[in-house]
Structure 1
Amino acid sequence: MGQKDTVTKDYIRNAEVFADAFNYLFYGGEKVIIPESLHELDSTATTIIHDDSLNAELIQRYRDSLKYMTVMEKNDAVYVILGIENQSHVHYAMSVKNMLYDAMEYANQVRKTSVRYRKEKSTGNTKSEKNNSGKTSSGEFLTGFSRSDELIPVVTLVIYFGTEAWDGPRNLYEMFGVENKKILPFVPDYRINLIAPEEMSEQEINRFHTDLREVLLYIKYSKEKEKLVDLIQTDDGFQNMKTETVVMLNTLTNSKLKFNEEKEETSMCLAIDELREEAKQEGIEFGRRELIEKMLMNHETMDKIKEYTGYTQEKIDEIAKELSAR
């Protein structure tokens, strides 16, 4: 597992961040889910598949974070299983990945129910649904799942911590090369629930209440250093951040934010000078690239371009290649 995946996986396991993410998804940011209502589940997804010869194959996958939540509806407790998959890079088969995770979770619920019934039967304490004759139906016997049994809903959320736009498919249909309107209605679609900061407005990001808000804002503007400097200077949320969050931002965006390892919180004011210098260098870089483009268009000699820009032949050739590809 890469360093980016490691730091984001640890981050989203935090119950407050986890609840904040799903409050945004379900309730538009309203604080309905409280961290105390979330309970950690084993994130290892395992299921067993049997072929026609009854040979068993174990399939195992590892989710980034999985919790179950209890909510009250009309004085009844309702259980929901919530999963988060963090992505530092675009996953172009995310719909298939999530569909497999969720299907394995449902299959596991059915298997556990079947195992429970077998255990009850062996102890003579069976509680399975009976048909009108008082016996277990053949369908219930074969599946190990009765008419009255219910599955717990599973919702998977993808949080994209990348600095580039998410340009991957967002549902199964987008992955098909088939557009036949006679066929597709019979193919179940599977869409992903996605949080991607690059495409979100500040108003949307402001619906988060933990430092996930600052993380998403920083990633959104990580390539606009002047905007980032202004944001850190004027936004109270950046005045003091958890040091571990600052470390994560450095890892995700290749930043060099200064922090004190001995303190739990870090003032982002320490990072202002560094970001200002980066913004200055970006401006100089942009100006030089424009100058190279103009000089190339005017067919200036390479020696003159090197003299005016201070760049090496190799760097100028690299920029010229990028410009010609536009």
Structure 2
Amino acid sequence: MRNLEYKNRDQPEQTSMVLNGKKLPLVTTIVIWLSAEPWPGTKNLIEMLEVPEEYVMKLPYYPLHLIEPFALTNEELMKYGPEVGTVLVFIKNSKNQYQLNDVLKKYEAEFSNASPLAYDWIYAVTKIEFDRKIKIRNGVINMCEAIIQMQNSSRNEGFKIGKNEGIRIGEMRGKTKGIEIGRNQELGKMAVKLGSVN
């Protein structure tokens, strides 16, 4: 504060503000890690800098203010508000469909009223394709409905693939069985011919 006092002698209102015990506004940087995986980097400024060893003890320890979904509970993530909280909770649970279904039930009110921005943010991070036919009603999107439609679509696609695979396997077995029957009939005819020759 001394530097401020000396630099601004011409502007007494600025020096009096600091000297009269008024507080400075807080300015901090928050890093939001948008992944279901753990944060891979360091969690303080000193480890991020290339600093000679003799100066390390002279530098202040600045922790990285990190919001890491992997390390926080769903309840802690929801404290960041309905907009950011729903996005972080979705990201945290996006790798496990059963956990995601449980979270959608628990926070149904929040996920039923997601903003288009939250919807786009979730898609950008998780790359989960939602049904694009979901309508924006009153400025919000029902993520629960979007996910149910997505799951139904995936299930139907799985049934279709399974049915086609079943048909293909059935046809192959039919051909194999037909060839086997045909060979047996040919062998039977050959045996009859050989029997009549003797």
TM-score after normalising by structure 2: 0.57
The answer as to 2:35 corresponding to 1:162 is: yes
Matches within 5 A, 1:1-326: 114=7, 117-118=9-10, 120=11, 148=19, 151-175=24-48, 184-236=56-108, 237-258=110-131, 259-261=134-136, 263-268=138-143, 269-275=145-151
Give 2:189's aligned residue: none
In 1, Cα distance between equivalents of 2:126 and 2:86: 13
Letter in 2 for 1:266: I
Aligned mates of 2:56, 2:114 — CA distance in 1? 48
Distance 1:147 1:212 in 2: 35
Match of 2:169 in 1: none
8 Å Cα contact 1:229-1:272 kept in structure 2: no
CA distance in 1: counterparts of 2:77 and 2:92, whole angstroms: 10
**Alpha-carbon deviations, 1:235-264, whole Å to 9, x = none?**
322122222321221122112223325651
Q: 8 Å contact 2:115–2:139 — kept in the other structure?
A: yes
Q: Deviations over 1:1-43 (max 9, x none)?
A: xxxxxxxxxxxxxxxxxxxxxxxxxxxxxxxxxxxxxxxxxxx
Asked if the contact 2:84/2:118 (under 8 Å) is kept, the reply is no
Question: Over the residues paired in the alignment, what is the CA RMSD in angstroms?
Answer: 4.0
Larger Rg computed on CA atoms: 2
- Letter aligned with residue 135 of structure 2: N
Q: Counterpart of 1:213 in 2: which secondary structure?
A: helix
**What is the CA–CA distance in structure 2 between the aligned matches of 1:279 and 1:223, rounded to whole Å?**
17
Shift of 1:191: 1.7
How many residues align structurally?
Answer: 151
1:214 is matched by which residue type in structure 2?
T
**Secondary structure in structure 2 of the residue aligned to 1:158:** strand
Give the superposition deviation at 1:281. 8.6
- SS of 2:19's partner is coil
| Runs (5+) with no aligned partner, structure 1 | 1-105, 121-125, 130-144, 283-326
* Higher share in strand: 1
| CA shift for structure 1 position 220 | 0.3
Percent of residue pairs bearing the same amino acid type: 21
Aligned equivalents of 2:45, 2:9: Cα separation in 1: 35
- The superposition leaves residues 158-187 of structure 1 with CA deviations (integer Å, 9 ceiling, x where unpaired) of 22223432111111233367896x763223
